[in-house]
Amino acid sequence: MMTRKSDGVTRRTFVAAGAVVTAGAALSACSQTASPVGAGSGSLRMAIPDDGWRLWLDQAASWRNDNIYLPEDVVLDKLPVNAPTGGWEKLAADAGIAVTLPSTVEQHYWGKTDQGLRPYRPDDYFWASAAREPTHQVQNGSYEGVSWWWQSVHVPAALHGKKLLLYIRGARQRAEVYLNRQLVGYNIVEETSFECDITAAVRCGSSNLLAIRITNPGGRFDWVDHTTTRWKNAEFQRSHGFGGLDRAVAIRAVDAVHFADVWVLNTPNVRSVRAFAELNNDTSRTVRGSVVFGVYSGDKRVAEVTMKVAIPPGGGRVFSAVIDCPGVKLWEPDAPNLYEMRVLWQSASTHPAMNDYWTRRFGFRWINAEGIGKRAKLTLNGRRFRLYTAISWGFWGINGLWPTPQLAHKEVTTAKRLGLNCLNFHRNIGKEEVLDQQDELGLLRYMEPGGGCLTQQPEGSFASRYEIEKLLRMIRQFRSHPSTFAYYIQDEWNPNLKTPRIFELLRQMRSLDASRIIITKDGIAPEAQAWLRADDAKVLFDHGNGWSGWWCRHTVGTSHGVWQDWMYKNPGQYMYRAEHPDEINEWGEVDGGASADNSELMLSQIAAMGGKSYDLLDHQQMQAACKTFLDQTDFGKVFATPGELFKSLGRRQYDTWSNLIENARISDHNDFFVISGWESTAIEDHSGIVDNLRNPKGPPDMIADKLIAVLPVAKPRSLVVEAGKPLTVDIYLVNESHRAITGMLDLTATDENGRTVHLGSFAAPAWKKDQFSYLLHEGFVTIPLASAGMYRLTLALRGDPKVAGHRDILVVGLAAGSQQGASVCVQSRYDWLAETVYALPGVSRVHDPAQADVLIASECTTDGREYSMHNERIAGTDDPQLYRVQRFGTGTNMKFVFNNLPDGPAQVYVYFAETMFKKSGQRVFNLLANGHTVLDHFDIAKAAGEPDRAIIRNFSVNITDGRLVIAPGPALVNSAMIAAIKILAGKTVKAAYFGKHPFRDHSGQLFQPWVSPSVGGDELVQRVRNGARAVYWASGSEDLAAISQSLAAAGSLEFRGMVGENRAAWMGCWVFTRTHPVFESLPVNSATASHYQIGTPGADGAMVYGPAVEVIAGYGRDHDRNYGAAAYHLRAGKGRLLVCLLPQIHPVVRQRVLQNSIRYLMT
């Protein structure tokens, strides 16, 4: 190789040492700093320090009426020069505040600008409407407007005569780049890298003022990525609402002929790669020379290819070479072996010499989808593998938008501690900092740009061009990373495959990288999919029958927030059982529940990192709210600090995931399992299993132990069993080790005292290539488990205790105790409550509550949840008012009971309009009338022809006992939603809707506001005050509120309202218990998890206070600043009352709670 001097550093010493220097020192080349299109290096390079920057908010600057330009439309000479308000002198060396990149305005000024703290708007935050966030506990403190980021940069005199390019790795939103007051760059595409030619503006040998004007037009702080921002002439994706600058800003010095990009793509021949070099020629003549591609391991050259080339004037000339490297080590998650592609351009002429040099790190590996249409599978380096991943929305602690190097490293190490082998950049473009770490440490990444559906906006529109540009930049920037697994365009959409645009876009993506799988969509349903295998030009797509070869279903909207026994019934019936062996089976966005961030831990970490973070105030408020609750209740004796409660909530979440991951792994045809999600934020996505500082919310081993390569699984058909009864389990072996496992697997149970009993032994199966799951024994019945308590069920390979799977089983005793002989009266509309209580040992039934030792009542009002809209148009009806307010829910939390109807045949009319979702397929449910299915797999939008269109369905029913119950069946896709109901039974007409005032439709029919029938809380309260001992088993949030309100009206307590139900599956709510007679012999002093099985639908907490109130089960949700009581005991007048809201609790545990309650009230 030729040598060339520059400030005492030669290219030969550069190749050997790869030295890095910063501004003001001699220029050198760097093999691992950022490049214009990703990790790599080139030419002579000066890294501008991450520290030493200044930030000033130009709050008086105008920007809303600016014209906005896409990169292809930018002509710098024609753009205005927007100087700081007050002049360039505002950017003095001591002006503003000192900042270190990466950073955002929000990191330093959240809520502190002239815009202050203010309620979120719906286009900032999905939960912003009054119906969803009624008290506006969370406030938007972001800054919309102009900020200036600047630093003085010394450029050495030796660079005079060079072309100088300024590299910016990422900015949001609009970046106007100035050097010495001259506009040298402009970029609107958020968080993507770009270069600016600063040659004409730079002063070599002296200091230069580098100033970047960032304009933030606002944005979102939730998961939504498909809405748009309108900025004068432009409309484009409304992305994360921060304004700031990424780190690793640098200057590159090049000759007239220089590299524009270098990249490396893998090939099906796994130890061969194709290297690419794009060269620009700024001269007016063709320049001849050679391009040398060299593969290096450290300083050892593995292979080299030299090409003689001629480069005509202009840019974009690409040269490539296939390089075979027999014997190299392959890259995979457990062995992330990396190599370096060093590419040298040497001009044939030395007068003047025009040379350049670039490095790009890569790995030898090949990932593809094989066997499509037969026995489909994902393969890595020729062997079948599965992906276990989680979706990251791209929110980062401290600044919100970018990771520091420390956080990037922490993200990857935390994922690996949890046993994952992949993460998704989800609804947000990837980050170079993270991919570098994933390459080094061995973690794959699934790539999505965010807002990809906007590529299908009208052709040629700003929104479409913007999104296509971002999508293609994503591929260019990240295609050399071995950790990049695949690209997909958009999450949860249904593209129109009848037009050619999707296919054109897929081919455009493939033209930039044919070495990876490219997918159009991920969920919600598998229909309307189109995709490309790696190294295959044929587009596989759904021809209208739902089959494309890539099957993906999302279940996040139907989560119950905790493991429940129905999720695994037997080997043929369980959640996440794959049934499409001829397709890649992906369970995308699986939701196993949510938990709060550990604000206590995060506040300590924020303090250690400088004390500034955009979400600092939110965590301070949540920490204070939790501490207040603990101090005001006896829970302070259980959880010494809020952090202890937060940890318990995390263990509950991880407990659920450990069960669900087992489900996915025992189904052999599963290929791809996606946890929803990765990081939570202070106000959103609480289903994340880490916080935005990448702290795991629970003990990592709880998940990692279920992701070991060889996992014996004893799958119980119930995690709770009554004492004296056997347990039924199905025995599996999961083996992803690609080697045979021999010997015997022993099943044991160990009780709380350490006593172990052997239950059975099973021979390891014969190994089959590409089979990962083996069913060894179906329906194995253990001996009866006689003693109550917690048992550790273990299935382990004999002689190798590391190959073991564990599951805790709760054995509950229900023998008669101090409630022996208790007379109990049950007043409830639910038969199961009476059946449960009267079946308890030692309980006698009485019909007169006045004669009962204990009264058990339930008001049973379950009306689902309200969803309201105001000015939107409802098509297909003359009565849009009927559809403005609707109720939505599932069979567990929504039913409508009509009493006093004449027996006999009746006609029922149910009014629907899909006003929440904007596409068909996003809500599918069954509807039942008196337990009989009347609508099967009903999709409102599909049936009506479009969203926001009214449709009425009618059916005949037979009324018995004067009662009609309309209720959804189990959720299929999201929940059911109903606008109104009308019943014609004989001469009786009943019509109800969910508005606040009576409404007469166009035919004259009067619809009354819906009122739930109730038993009457006031009557019960009076009985208690007169000396009764009672249990009130609330059926839902409104029921708990009603009894608490009745108690408050009687002066027995202070009622400050309800905390609120679970907003969504990914937001979460939770119940936690403490030591108390009501929970005797059950898990206490922790969040209720898979042994209670208390679901999120229907859960809530009452904020009740008073000296006579004893909170025995607490309740919290998402980021709420309020905590309440899910169960409380009260002495009122002469009597006592236990109030409980424990929805979906396991039947055996419910029996024990009721038994304990009777015993407690009898004492």
Is the pLDDT at 27 greater than 50, yes or no? no
Higher pLDDT pick, 103 / 21: 103
In residues, how long is the chain?
1163
Q: Under 8 Å CB-to-CB from 1070, ≥6 apart: which residues?
A: 561, 594, 595, 596, 649, 652, 1087, 1088, 1115, 1116, 1117
Q: For residue 513, report the phi and psi dihedrals to the nearest 5 degrees.
A: -160, 100
Amino acid in position 1054: E
H-helix or E-strand spanning residue 826: strand 822-827
Comparing C-alpha atoms, which of 998, 1122, 337, 421 is closest to residue 704? Answer: 421
Residues 708 and 661: their CA atoms lie apart, in Å, by 11
Residue 353 — very low, low, confident or very high, per pLDDT cuts 50/70/90? confident
Comparing C-alpha atoms, which of 571, 528, 567 is closest to residue 551? Answer: 528
Is the pLDDT at 517 greater than 90, yes or no? yes
Q: What residue spans in the chain does CATH classification 2.60.120.430 cover?
A: 865-1009
Residues 406 and 661: their CA atoms lie apart, in Å, by 29
Q: What is the CATH number of domain 21-44+253-266+271-362?
A: 2.60.40.10
Is the pLDDT at 971 greater than 90, yes or no? no
SS3 1031: strand
Question: How many Cα atoms within 13 Å fall on the side-chain side of residue 1077?
Answer: 15
Residue whose tokens read 């309440």: 1124
Residues 479 and 753: their CA atoms lie apart, in Å, by 56
The four Cα atoms 563, 564, 568, 570 give a dihedral, to 10 degrees, of 150
Residues of the chain with pLDDT > 70: what percent?
94
Residue 948 near residue 934, CB atoms below 8 Å: no
Strand partners, 290: 308, 346
Residues 81 and 400: their CA atoms lie apart, in Å, by 29
Q: What is the CATH number of domain 865-1009?
A: 2.60.120.430
Confidence at residue 816, expressed as pLDDT on a 0 to 100 scale = 73
CB atoms within 10 A of CB 423: 29
**Centroid of chain to Cα 906:** 46
β pairing state of 53-58 and 145-155 = antiparallel
CB atoms within 10 A of CB 269: 11
**CA dihedral for 278, 282, 287, 288, sign (positive or negative):** negative
Is the pLDDT at 259 greater than 60, yes or no? yes
Residue 72 — very low, low, confident or very high, per pLDDT cuts 50/70/90? very high
Confidence at residue 767, expressed as pLDDT on a 0 to 100 scale = 97
Residue 984 near residue 956, CB atoms below 8 Å: no
pLDDT tens for each residue of 894-938: 888 888 899 999 999 999 999 999 899 999 999 999 999 999 999
pLDDT tens for each residue of 829-876: 677 888 899 999 989 998 888 899 999 998 645 577 788 886 678 999
Q: Transcribe 869-915 into DSSP letters.
A: -SS---BS-S-GGGGSEEEEE-TTTB-EEE-SPPSEEEEEEEEEE--
Residue 93 near residue 194, CB atoms below 8 Å: no
Is the pLDDT at 249 greater than 50, yes or no? yes
CA-based diameter of the chain, in Å?
A: 111
Residues 805 and 1059: their CA atoms lie apart, in Å, by 38
Is the pLDDT at 161 greater than 80, yes or no? yes
Residue 972 — very low, low, confident or very high, per pLDDT cuts 50/70/90? confident
**Exposed e or buried b per residue across 9-33, where buried means at least 16 C-beta atoms within 10 angstroms of its C-beta:** bebeebbeebebbebeeebbbbbeb
Residue 1033 near residue 1157, CB atoms below 8 Å: no
CATH 2.60.120.260 fits 49-248, yes or no: yes
Residue 303 near residue 275, CB atoms below 8 Å: no
Strand intervals (E) in 577-682? 584-590, 670-675
Q: For residue 242, report the phi and psi dihedrals to the nearest 5 degrees.
A: -105, 155
Residues of the chain with pLDDT > 90: what percent?
85
Is the pLDDT at 131 greater than 70, yes or no? no
H-helix or E-strand spanning residue 660: helix 642-666
pTM (2 decimals)?
A: 0.86
Q: What residue spans in the chain does CATH classification 2.60.40.10 cover?
A: 21-44+253-266+271-362
Q: What is the CATH number of domain 710-810?
A: 2.60.40.1930
Residue 205 has which token pair?
């040998």
How far lies 985's CA from each of 469, 899, 910, 1003, in Å?
A: 61, 12, 14, 18
Confidence at residue 818, expressed as pLDDT on a 0 to 100 scale = 63
Residues 78 and 788: their CA atoms lie apart, in Å, by 81
Class of the CATH domain delimited by 367-704: alpha beta
Class of the CATH domain delimited by 822-861+1015-1162: alpha beta
Residue 34 near residue 167, CB atoms below 8 Å: yes
Comparing C-alpha atoms, which of 104, 110, 123 is closest to residue 218? Answer: 123
Residue 214 near residue 241, CB atoms below 8 Å: no
pLDDT tens for each residue of 716-756: 999 999 999 999 999 999 999 999 999 999 999 999 999 99
pLDDT tens for each residue of 445-454: 999 999 999 9
Residue 550 near residue 585, CB atoms below 8 Å: no
Is the pLDDT at 674 greater than 50, yes or no? yes
Q: Transcribe 16-49 into DSSP letters.
A: HH----BTTS--B--SSSEETTEE-EESEEEEPP
Is the pLDDT at 1014 greater than 60, yes or no? no
| 291-305, 866-880, 1013-1027, 1069-1083: the lowest-pLDDT one | 1013-1027
Residue 188 — very low, low, confident or very high, per pLDDT cuts 50/70/90? very high
What's the whole-number mean pLDDT along residues 53-64? 98
Higher pLDDT pick, 921 / 37: 921
How far lies 507's CA from each of 175, 485, 531, 532, in Å?
A: 30, 18, 10, 9
> What DSSP state is assigned to residue 106?
H
Is the pLDDT at 690 greater than 50, yes or no? yes
User: Average model confidence (pLDDT) for the chain?
Assistant: 92
- Burial class of residue 226 (count of CB atoms within 10 Å of its CB; 0-12, 13-18, 19+): middle
Residue 1094 near residue 1083, CB atoms below 8 Å: no
Residue 187 has which token pair?
């970029």
